[in-house]
Amino acid sequence: MRSVLLIDDDAMSRDLFSVLLEGEGYAVRTCENGDAALAALRTGKSRPDAILSDMQMSGTTGTALAEALRALCPRSVIIGMSASKPSGGQLKGFDAFLLKPFDGAQFTKALGSLNSGTPAETAPAGKSQVSDLDEAVVAPLAAAMPSGQLGALYALSLSDTRKRVAAMRQSLAAGNDDAFRGEAHAIKGGAVMLGASAVAELARQMEEAGISADAPGLLDDLIAAITRLEGILLLTLPRHTTSSTETP
């Protein structure tokens, strides 16, 4: 059984990726950030066959993390992932890159591409229309886990998103642009993995624009998109998905 070290600072993403990769037959170990992963590797004896790491986290991240991982695990394949496509220089030290959302089969394909010598980057095709829930993303998730587990995952993600929207409102009031963009990036990352396309698109706009005159309206639009998605999920997963009535 092939082993994968999964590094992501978002708990929901760690849970989701673990399910998807285990469904492909991988033995998955997780760490909540790059520094925790480096500490675990320095104290442990075993080395993973592959390392899958988010590229935007607090602490050691990006190229610095890739180089540190390479020093500790010279034979491991190191794959970066993000909801935003990085520039070429940001990929230094990584063997491949996966643009979220992706599933276990796409991860396996990326590994196969590396072994065959073909281009390593794998990314989903762009979509011209933004919907509240992307069935192309949801279908493999539904196939990989019981509906109750999937419903709980959506409920956790939407609850977390509402809390992050509240934090964005506080950052907006305080004029803290970095914190505002950081929360938007976190929302976007979780949303794209769950196929919450409208939520992801609004978060993307706010991450790119930062604090602007449009920010209050976009935050209101984001809450509306979350509420619509909760309604859709109550119809498709009525016994397992709960909605939150709080409006940050």
Residue 101 pLDDT > 60, yes or no? yes
Question: Are 189 and 181 spatial neighbours (Cβ–Cβ below 8 Å)?
Answer: no
Q: What is the pLDDT of residue 62?
A: 92
Half-sphere exposure of 102 (CA within 13 A, CB side): 26
What are 117-171's pLDDT values in tens digits? 544 444 444 443 468 888 888 888 888 888 788 888 888 888 999 999 999 999 9
Q: What is the pLDDT of residue 87?
A: 76
Residue 44 pLDDT > 70, yes or no? yes
Question: Are 158 and 248 spatial neighbours (Cβ–Cβ below 8 Å)?
Answer: no
Q: What is the pLDDT of residue 111?
A: 84
Question: Are 150 and 214 spatial neighbours (Cβ–Cβ below 8 Å)?
Answer: no
Q: What is the pLDDT of residue 125?
A: 40
| Sign of the dihedral defined by the CA atoms of residues 151, 155, 160, 164, in that order | positive
Q: What is the pLDDT of residue 237?
A: 63
Domains and CATH numbers, the chain: 3-116 (3.40.50.2300), 135-236 (1.20.120)
Structure tokens at 40: 């675990």
Q: What is the pLDDT of residue 41?
A: 95
Q: What is the pLDDT of residue 6?
A: 97
Q: What percentage of residues in the chain have a pLDDT greater than 70?
A: 87
Mean pLDDT of the chain: 85
Q: What is the pLDDT of residue 130?
A: 61
Q: What is the pLDDT of residue 233?
A: 82
Closest CA to 194 of 128, 129, 150: 150
pTM as predicted = 0.74
Q: What is the pLDDT of residue 138?
A: 86
> Rounded CA gap, 229 and 5, in Å?
32
Q: What is the pLDDT of residue 29?
A: 96
Q: What is the pLDDT of residue 162?
A: 93
Q: How confident is the model at residue 214 (pLDDT cuts 50, 70, 90)?
A: very high
Q: What is the pLDDT of residue 116?
A: 53
Helix (H), strand (E), coil (C) string for the chain? CCEEEEECCCHHHHHHHHHHHHHCCCEEEEECCHHHHHHHHHHCCCCCCEEEEECCCCCCCHHHHHHHHHHHCCCCEEEEEECCCCCHHHHCCCCEEEECCCCHHHHHHHHHHHHHCCCCCECCCCCCCCCCCCHHHHHHHHHHCCHHHHHHHHHHHHHHHHHHHHHHHHHHHHCCHHHHHHHHHHHHHHHHHCCCHHHHHHHHHHHHHCCCCCHHHHHHHHHHHHHHHHHHHHHHCCCCCCCCCCCC
